Amino acid sequence: MAPSPMQSRHFAQLLLLSAVWGGSFPLIRIAAPAFGPLPMACLRCALAAGVLTLLMRVLRQQWPERVHWSSLTLLGLLTVVAPFVLFNWAGLVLPAGYSAVLNATAPLFGVVAGAAFGEERLTMRKLAGCAAGLLGVALLVRLGPVRPDGQVLLAVAACVAASASYGFGAILMKRATLAHQPLPASAAVHVAAAAVLLLPAASAAPQVQLVPQAIVALAVLGTFTSGFMYWISMRLMREIPASAATSSAFLIPMFGVAWGGLFLAEPFTAGMVPGVLLVLVACALVTGFNPLAWRRGR
């Protein structure tokens, strides 16, 4: 099935995903020191699985057949288990903004993966979009200096590996949306991910500290940014190319700056405007979305 053209409602959903996921990195910074990377990832998956299972019951949808669970487990490893654990570990070391910036490399890996698996053509437009997005992120987010010691370099590598996992996992997610309804597939992915993480998380459970702020942060991460938004992401992935869907990562740092200005009184300067414009241009290039054609997309 050929993907449909990028439409205004698709772009609006990308904005929603970016806005919500942009807030996940500060929440990770709050929760990771208290729970630890493995227990936090397992609990986050379990909460997401619970929310999605409840939605399935309300909407009267059925679980995927047993024969499909191995492929959905692999999808969970790439798009849930590996990124959650890696970003959680990086959150012990790096500021949230650094992780958000490094997450913006996911569309680049998505474009490469799409070309490698023959899902999409690697065009100059997409490559130009990736370059513009990374440059825009660099201009947009002015981070303070972090001492580049060995632990920081490992945390940076963990973020890049997590982004690569998202990018390559997007290809499997695209295939899963063509074989399954998005909601049952999303629920199965998180059930499988929680099961995979259960024993490693249990071994680290004695170090968990039940700090109120961390509990609230984890609850939001599990129920909303993971469970509900993963379902929205799979619904969107069903209708547009995988590389277009992952391009929301370009906007995540921009929303991080916006949330910082709104809730933490962090400054938004005129020097950031070129970065914002480059990020928006990047999304248009990678997704193929034409902002002048809103009416045709309705």
Q: What is the pLDDT of residues 115-142, one digit of tens each?
A: 777 777 778 887 888 788 777 766 655 5
Q: Residue 200, Cα to own-chain centre: how many angstroms? A: 23
247-295 tens-digit pLDDT:
666 777 777 667 656 664 555 666 667 766 776 677 667 766 555 554 4
Confidence bin at 83 (pLDDT 50/70/90): very high
Cβ pair 31, 40 in contact under 8 A:
yes
209-219 tens-digit pLDDT:
999 999 999 99
| Residue 151: CB atoms within 10 Å | 12
User: 166, 157, 113, 160: which is closest to 134 by C-alpha?
Assistant: 160
Q: How far apart are the first and last CA of the chain?
A: 21
Flag whether pLDDT at 234 surpasses 70.
Answer: yes
Confidence bin at 2 (pLDDT 50/70/90): very low
Q: Which pair of structure tokens corresponds to residue 184? A: 């049952």
Flag whether pLDDT at 72 surpasses 80.
Answer: yes
What is the rounded average pLDDT of the residues 59-69?
Answer: 93
Cα–Cα distance measured from residue 33 to residue 43, given in angstroms and rounded to the nearest whole number:
14
What is the rounded average pLDDT of the residues 33-56?
Answer: 96
pLDDT score, position 115: 76
Percent of the chain with pLDDT over 90: 36
pTM, rounded to two decimals: 0.81
Q: Give just the sign of the alpha carbon dihedral 164, 39, 94, 21.
A: positive
What is the rounded average pLDDT of the residues 68-77?
Answer: 95
